[in-house]
Amino acid sequence: MIVNLKEILNLAEGGQYAIGAYNTPNLESLMAVLGAAEDRNVPVIIMHAQVHEEIVPIEAVGPVMVSAARKSSVPVCVHLDHGEDLDYIRKGLELGFTSVMYDGSRLSYEENVQNTLKAKWMARQYGAGIEAEIGVVGGREAGLGENAEDLYTDPTIAKKFVEDTEIDALACSFGTAHGFYQSAPKLDFERISQIRKLTSLPLVMHGGSGVLPEDYVKSIACGVRKINYYSYMSRAGVEGAKKFFQSDNPAYYHDLALAAKISMTENILESMKVFYQR
């Protein structure tokens, strides 16, 4: 069944767990995520990021995501991740996405608030939820040579941002990064707790794959209710396809794609054990 962001985060609040939010830029990843969620009988968020437009246009993948969510036996939120363009956000809403994230983290505070309010107004017209970001998560967003801690979310600014925008979920920076980690990230749990205390909002962990299991658990206890997970799931797919290719010398591409889907499903199931604490 398809639900919006606020509805699915209410489930997380009630159960004191985090919703896994997985990028699905192709059919294999979409099938892996929804298959795992139905196997575990847990709500889930499927995402299309604007940065993945070069992999697959939102016009192509969006309707497939929305249709699959409607047919699922578990609650599914269809989320547009890191929308930096208001027209692109509108496009996702018109396609049936039930949640959008406006990412104005690299803009001035005033511009971020102004555009977040515009994105929220659009989302509300479609009954969709709204996530926004204050602070800068490392990796794709952060420039080289920057001190990561200087980009972490300031709890007092986060409080003001939430008051000024009245969003449904807050993406904040506290030590994670997009992409692959060279060493285990060191998360600022005190910062997470303080932001949660001052905003009373469900918090979102971006760059969530690759974090230590015990750090997921601590983050959830501190108020994280949505964990964005993609890089390590995607790499699991690559490793699955590699192993199959080396052992079976397949003649058909669809056999490689199936092997990748199976490996991604296994990786997703492992993450769900921790996110949903079951």
Residues annotated catalytic, as ranges? 81
Cα–Cα distance measured from residue 237 to residue 245, given in angstroms and rounded to the nearest whole number: 12
Cα–Cα distance measured from residue 83 to residue 102, given in angstroms and rounded to the nearest whole number: 5
Look-up of token digits 């962001």: 5
DSSP label at 52?
G
Q: Is 169 in a helix, a strand, or coil?
A: strand
Cα–Cα distance measured from residue 250 to residue 248, given in angstroms and rounded to the nearest whole number: 5
Phi-psi region of 130 (alpha: psi -120 to 50; beta: other; left: phi over 0): beta
Cα–Cα distance measured from residue 39 to residue 260, given in angstroms and rounded to the nearest whole number: 18
Element spanning 232, H or E:
helix 231-248
Per DSSP (E only), the strands in 120-220 are: 129-134, 169-172, 203-205
Cα–Cα distance measured from residue 9 to residue 15, given in angstroms and rounded to the nearest whole number: 10
